[in-house]
Amino acid sequence: MEHHVPLAGQVRRDVILETIAEHDNGWAEEDAAPSVNPETGRIYDFVNAPLNVRHRVWPRAVARLEEDPWAAALVAQHALTIYDRFRCQTEWSSFFAQMEKARARMVHASGLHPNDLAADYVFLRLGDLISLTFCTGWTGEQIFDEWTVNCTAGCVVVTSQEPNSRDVSSAAPDVFDGATIPIELSIREIRQQVFRSDAELREALNSARAATLRGEVVGRR
The pLDDT tens digits for 40-80 are: 999 999 999 999 999 999 999 999 999 999 999 999 999 99
**pLDDT reported for residue 140:** 87
The per-residue pLDDT for range 85-137, each reduced to its tens digit, is 999 999 999 999 999 999 999 999 999 999 999 999 999 999 999 999 999 88
Residue with more model confidence, 4 or 18: 18
Count Cβ neighbours within 10 Å for each residue of 156-172 and write b for 16 or more, e otherwise: bbbbbbbeeeeeeeebb
CA 124/CA 22 separation, integer angstroms: 10
CA 43/CA 20 separation, integer angstroms: 26
- Taking Cα atoms as reference points, which of 49, 51, 93, 57 lies closest to residue 78? 57
**Cα dihedral across residues 123, 128, 134, 138: positive or negative:** negative
Taking the model in full, what pTM does it have?
0.89
Residue with more model confidence, 145 or 110: 110
**pLDDT reported for residue 162:** 64
- Mean pLDDT over all residues of the chain? 91
pLDDT category of residue 9 using cuts at 50, 70 and 90: confident
DSSP 38-79: TTT-PBP-TTTS-HHHHHHHHHHHHHHTTTSHHHHHHHHHHH
pLDDT category of residue 161 using cuts at 50, 70 and 90: confident
